[in-house]
Amino acid sequence: MMSSGLAALCFLLLHTGALGFGILPGKSLNHLEITERAMLNVTVEVCRSLALAEGTDFSIPAQPFTAEGVAVACGTPKSTKSFRQAIIIITLTNVRVDLRHALNASFHFDDEMFLSGRKIITEGLTVVKASMKQENYEAAREKLGEICHPLQDFYSHSNWVELGMESPNTNLLRSDTRVGNIADESRATCRNCDGDDCRNNILEDIIDERVLTSGYFSIALIGATKPQGKCSHGGGVDQTSTIEPVGGINKDSLDASHGHLHSQAANLAISATSELLEDIRRAAGDRQFLQMVGISKGSSKALCFVIDTTKSMSDDIAIVKTVTSSIISSEVGTENEPAVYILVPFKDPDVGPLIKTSDPKVFETVIDSLTAAGGGDDAELSLSALELALGSVPFNSEIFLFTDAPAKDKNLKSTVTALIERTQAAVSFMISGSTMANRRRRSDDTRPMLAASDAQLYRNLAHTSGGVYVEVAKSELPAATSIITDSISPSLVTLLQASRNPGKMDMFPFIVDETVTNLKVYITGHSVTFTVTSPTGESQDSTSTTGSLITASQSVGNFMSLQLQKQAGLWEIKMVSTNPYTVKVIGQSSIDFLFDFVERSKGPFTGYDTLDTRPRAGVNGSLLVSLTGSDSATVTEVFLVESLESEEIKGVVEPQGSGNFLVHFDRIPTVEFSVRVKGQDNNTASRASPVVFQRQSTTSFRASNLTITADSNSILEPGKPFSVPFSVTTNGAGGNLTIRTSNNRRFDSTSPTSLVVETGGSANGTVTLSAPRTTPSGTDVILTIEAETQEGEDTNYIVLRFSVINTVTDFIQPVCEKLSLQSNCSGNCTGSMWELSVRVTDGSGSGVDRVSLKKGNGTLNTSLDASNENITLVSYLSSCCSPDMELLVVDRVGNVGVCFYSSREGSSSAQSDSPKVTQSPLLCLSIVVLGLYVMTELGIQ
Ligand SMILES: *[C@@H]1O[C@H](CO)[C@@H](O)[C@H](O)[C@H]1NC(C)=O
Ligand SMILES: *[C@@H]1O[C@H](CO)[C@@H](O)[C@H](O)[C@H]1NC(C)=O
Ligand SMILES: *[C@@H]1O[C@H](CO)[C@@H](O)[C@H](O)[C@H]1NC(C)=O
Ligand SMILES: *[C@@H]1O[C@H](CO)[C@@H](O)[C@H](O)[C@H]1NC(C)=O
Ligand SMILES: *[C@@H]1O[C@H](CO)[C@@H](O)[C@H](O)[C@H]1NC(C)=O
Ligand SMILES: [Ca+2]
C-alpha cells in the first residue's frame, strides 16, 4: 500500500513511492497500463476492420489483451517485437511528462488550466498527424505519448467524473469548441472536508450547474497558495490541500482523495485515449496507423543501404541491384518482407538524397537508376551518409554501407557512434576492392583494402553497432551478401557477440535454446582458427572437413560464416588468433528482448526516465528490460559484459509486470560493454521442460563522466531560428570541453565550440537551429550535441528529435453536402440498388486530402470537380442490402469528419459531424443542454 504521500499528481505515482512504473495487480491503474490498454484495444479494432474489408477471418484475442495476442490476431506474429517497442516508447514518453513537467499545471489539468491543457493536446495531435504523413513514425510515437498524459490526467484531476459524465470529453481533441463550462476564477468550487465527508467536498451548485473545475496543486512547503474557495488536488505532497477549503479531489489511485472514483476515472482515461488513437487512425489511414504502432504484414524491419556511387563502385552497385531484386522477388508478401526501404547514395561532395519508401517497386526503380560516376580523390563522405541513414531508420535496424574508400569526414565519428547507441542500429561495412579509382585487384591479392587507420574507423563502428566489417575483393562481394539476406528476418536474434583486439586465444560459451533455428556463427579477422564444441561434447575445428556440427560454411576475404547443427544446450567456441577478430552467434527465435537505460528521476516525483545520453560511468545505474515473443517468459539474470575483456557485472532484476523488468547495477563499467540477458519460459504447453535462453545486445555502449541535459520538448517553425539551451556537467575533473553539434538535415545552426567547466561543475550553452522556410510540415530533425574532454578520452552526447511544423490555422474538418440520393429499395434487398452523390469541401481550410468509405459495401468513386479543384465529388453505388454508409473525410492537416447516409433516408439532408452545433451560444447557456451536447457529441462518434 501507499507508504508515503508521494502518490499524488497522476495515475503513475505508485503505492510503493519508489517505482515509476511498478504495478500491483488488481489495484490502481497507472498511465502505463491505461495507455497500453487503449493501444491494444484500438489495434484490435483496426485489424478487425481491415480483415473485414479484405474478407479474411479475424478472431478477437483472449482478454486481457497482450501485445503478443494482438499481433497474432492481426496475422502478424513476427511484429510482436516492434509492436512492444512502439508501446514502450509511447508509454515511456507519457510517463516522462511527470518527470520533466511535474510542476507545469497545464500538463496535468491542475489549477483549472483547461485551455492551456487542451492546447498541449491539440497542438501535439497536429504534430502526430503531420509526422505520420511524412512517415516519421518515431516522432509520431514520442509526441503521442506526451499528449496522452494530460488527456488521461483530465479524468483524474478535474471533476468530470463527479459531474456524472460517463463518456470522455471529446472537446479535448479539438480546438474549435468549448472545453466545457469552466468555473470562473472567482467562483468557489469546494468546501472544507474531513474523513468520509471528503467524498462530497465539491459544492452542490458546481455539480448541479455542470461547472468544470480541477484541483489546485503545489509542493511548496512554504508559501503554497490557491485562489479562495478552490478545490485542491489532495494527497501528502500537495501543500494546497491543507489550506481552506482543505481536502482534495484527485482520483489518481484507489486511496487518493477521491479514490472511490479511481476506477471510473481510469476507465474514462482508457476510453479517451482510445478516441485519440481512433482520431489519429482516421486521419492517417489504417495501414499507416498500424505502422505507427509497429505492426506490419511483413517483417517491420528496414532494408537500408548506404552506397558510395563514385566511379570505382560500379561492380558493387550491380551487386546491390542484384541483392535488392532478389530480396524483393523472394520476400515480398512473406513475413520477411521489409516494412521500409532506405537508400542513401554518397559521393564527394554530394550526400543523399535519402530515399525512404515502403513500396518495393519504387525502391527497385531507385536502385536501378543508381549509376557510378566521378569522385576524383580517394576519400568520400561516408559518415555523413551514415548519419543521414541513422536519423531515419527504425529502432534496431540493420544498415549496410558499401564503399572502397576511407571516410573523408572522420570528424563525424562520435556523432555516428551516438546515433548508433541511441537507435541500436547495426552497421555492416562491405569494403571491396582498392581505394585507387579504377585499379582492379586480383582476387588473390591479400593486401589490406584500406590503410590500417582508415579500416580501424569502420571496424570500430561495425563493432560498436554489432554489425560486421567485411573486407573482400570485388569479385568476392556476392558471396558476402548472405549477411544481408540473413539480416532481414524479423526473428533474427543475437546469442553472443564478442571481439578481441589485439587477438588472443579465448573461449566463448553460449546457450542455445529450443526456440532457436538457423544457428549461425559470423567470424571476422585474418588467420583465425576456432573449435566449436556442442552440448554433447562433440567438437569440430576450422581445419576439419569431417564432423557434423558445422553443416555449411563460407569464407570470403576476412569473413567467415558457419551454419551450426540445431542442438539446444550449452555450446562453446574457442578462438585462436593473434590478429584482431570478432565472433557473433545469431539465430532465429521469437523470444528476444528490448532495453533502455533509465535513470531515477531527480524531480519531486519518483520514477524512472529514459536516457538520451550515455549513462554515468563508474556509479550505479538501471536498465528497463522488456521481453518479447512470449507472455510467459521471465528474465532471470542480466549482465553488463565488458566488450574486450571477460568481466561481467550482474544486475538485480525487479519484475514490473507486462513483461517489463527493472534491472539495477552497482556500477556501470567505465569501458565499453554490451547487455546480456538470460531468461526462462515456463510455458511447457508445447515443450517438455522450461526453455532457458540467452540473448545479447548487438550494440556496445559506453558510459561517461560528463552529463548533458537539454529540453527535448519543442517544435520548430520553418524559417524561424530556434534555440536549444543545454547544460554540461562533469562528475570528474574540470577543463576546457570541446562542443560539437550536428543535425541530420544539415539545417543552419550555431553553437559554442568549447565550454569551460570546473571540477564537478557545469556550464551552459545554446544551439540555434533554423529550418528552411520550405521544409515540409512533419519533417523531423535529429540534433546531436556532444561534449568531449580535451584529450578526447571521455565523450558524452545528447540526441534530440524535433519536429518541424507549420503553424496550423485550419481546425475544422471538411464538410459533406448531399447532391442527390436515389433509392429503389423495396422489400427484398437483393437485386435493388441505391445511389448517392455528395460534394466534399473544406471551406477556406487546408483542403480535402482523403475521402474513404468507413462503412458500407458499395462502390465509392471520387473525383475533383472539373471547375473547382477545392471540391471533391463523391459517387456511391450500393446494393440495398447494405443500406447505410459512412464517409470518412480528412483535410490536409488531419481534421477528420464522418458523414452518414442511408438508403432509408428519403430526401432529408444528411448529418455530418460538423462542429457548428457545438458553437451555438444557446446550447452553452443551459446546464441541461451542456450535458446533452456532450452526449450528442459522443453519440455521433
Ligand atoms: C475498446 O474500445 C471500445 C470503444 O472503442 C470500447 O467499447 C471497449 O469497451 C473497449 N474495450 C476494452 C477492453 O477496453
Ligand atoms: C519457472 O520454473 C522454475 C523451476 O523450474 C522456477 O524456479 C521459477 O520460479 C518458475 N518461474 C515462473 C515465472 O513461474
Ligand atoms: C571517470 O572518472 C573516473 C575517476 O574519476 C575514471 O577512473 C574513469 O576512467 C572516468 N571515465 C571515463 C569514461 O573517462
Ligand atoms: C578552449 O579551447 C578552445 C579550442 O581549443 C580555445 O579556442 C579556447 O580559447 C579555450 N578556452 C579557454 C578558456 O581556454
Ligand atoms: C545554467 O542554466 C540554468 C537555468 O537554465 C541555471 O540554473 C544555472 O545556474 C546555469 N548554470 C551556469 C553554470 O550558468
Ligand atoms: Ca479543414
634 close to ligand 2 (CB < 6 Angstrom): yes
Q: Distance from first CA to last CA of the chain, Å, rounded?
A: 39
In this prediction, residue 928 carries a pLDDT of 31
For atom 9 of ligand 2, which residue has the closest CA?
682
Sequence-distant (6+) residues with CB within 8 A of 545 are none
Helix (H, G, I), strand (E, B), or coil: what is residue 715? Answer: strand
- DSSP bridge pairs for 16: none
In this prediction, residue 825 carries a pLDDT of 85
CB 449 within 8 A of CB 488: no
Q: Edge-to-edge strands of the sheet including 859-865? A: 815-823, 833-841, 868-879, 859-865
CB 403 within 8 A of CB 380: yes
pLDDT tens for 7-29 read 222 333 322 222 223 333 346 77
Among the bound ligands, name the one nearest to the CA of residue 126.
Answer: 6
pLDDT tens for 43-85 read 999 999 999 888 899 999 998 899 999 999 999 888 888 999 9
Better pLDDT: 568 or 609: 568
For atom 8 of ligand 3, which residue has the closest CA?
670
In this prediction, residue 40 carries a pLDDT of 96
Q: Ligand 3: which of 701, 794, 797 to mutate, judged by most atoms within 8 Å of the beta carbon?
A: 794
Which residues sit with Cβ closer than 5 angstroms to ligand 6, an ion? 810, 812, 842, 845, 891, 895
In this prediction, residue 599 carries a pLDDT of 86
Q: How far apart are CA 124 and CA 15, in angstroms?
A: 30
pLDDT tens for 728-773 read 999 888 899 999 999 989 899 999 999 999 999 999 999 999 999 9
Q: Which atom of ligand 4 is nearest to the CA of 736?
A: 1
Q: Helix crossing, 31-54 with 137-157: angle to 10°? A: 120
For atom 13 of ligand 3, which residue has the closest CA?
704
Q: How far apart are CA 635 and CA 626, in angstroms?
A: 9
- Of 395-404, 669-678, 705-714, give the lowest mean pLDDT range: 705-714
For atom 4 of ligand 4, which residue has the closest CA?
754
**Distances 600 to 409, 611, 621, 663 between C-alpha atoms, Å:** 37, 10, 8, 12
Q: How far apart are CA 589 and CA 556, in angstroms?
A: 27
- How far away, in angstroms, is 759 Cα from ligand 4 center? 17
Radius of gyration of the chain (CA): 30
Q: Average pLDDT of 395-403?
A: 90
- How far away, in angstroms, is 737 Cα from ligand 4 center? 8
pLDDT tens for 611-653 read 889 999 999 999 999 998 888 899 999 999 998 777 899 999 9
775 close to ligand 1 (CB < 6 Angstrom): no
Q: Ligand 2: which of 632, 680, 687, 691 to mutate, judged by most atoms within 8 Å of the beta carbon?
A: 680
Q: How far apart are CA 510 and CA 534, in angstroms?
A: 10
CB 120 within 8 A of CB 150: yes
Bridge-based pairing state of the strands 550-556 and 559-564: antiparallel
**Distances 60 to 47, 75, 79, 589 between C-alpha atoms, Å:** 10, 11, 17, 25
- How far away, in angstroms, is 73 Cα from ligand 2 center? 28
For atom 10 of ligand 5, which residue has the closest CA?
764
For atom 3 of ligand 2, which residue has the closest CA?
682
What single DSSP character describes residue 314? Answer: H
- How far away, in angstroms, is 598 Cα from ligand 2 center? 27
Among the bound ligands, name the one nearest to the CA of residue 727.
Answer: 5
Residue 939 φ then ψ, to 5°: -60, -35
Q: Average pLDDT of 907-918?
A: 39
Q: Ligand 2: which of 632, 635, 682, 692 to mutate, judged by most atoms within 8 Å of the beta carbon?
A: 682
**Distances 545 to 550, 554, 572 between C-alpha atoms, Å:** 9, 13, 19
**Is the four-CA dihedral 454, 459, 461, 464 of positive or negative sign?**
negative
**Distances 351 to 117, 380, 382, 388, 413 between C-alpha atoms, Å:** 42, 10, 8, 9, 16
pLDDT tens for 464-519 read 999 999 988 878 888 888 888 888 888 899 999 998 888 899 999 999 999 999 99
Q: How far apart are CA 106 and CA 146, in angstroms?
A: 12
Among the bound ligands, name the one nearest to the CA of residue 752.
Answer: 4
Q: State the average pLDDT for the chain.
A: 86
How does DSSP assign 725-771, residue by residue? Answer: EEEEEESS--EEEEEEEEETT--EEE--SEEEE-TT-EEEEEEEEE-
For 54-210, where are the E strands, in sequence order?
A: none
Q: Ligand 4: which of 740, 753, 754 to mutate, judged by most atoms within 8 Å of the beta carbon?
A: 754
- How far away, in angstroms, is 636 Cα from ligand 2 center? 10
pLDDT tens for 213-261 read 999 998 888 888 999 999 999 988 889 999 999 999 999 888 889 999 9
- How far away, in angstroms, is 687 Cα from ligand 2 center? 15
Q: Residues lining ligand 3, judged by CB closer than 6 Å?
A: 617-618, 670, 704-705, 732, 793-794
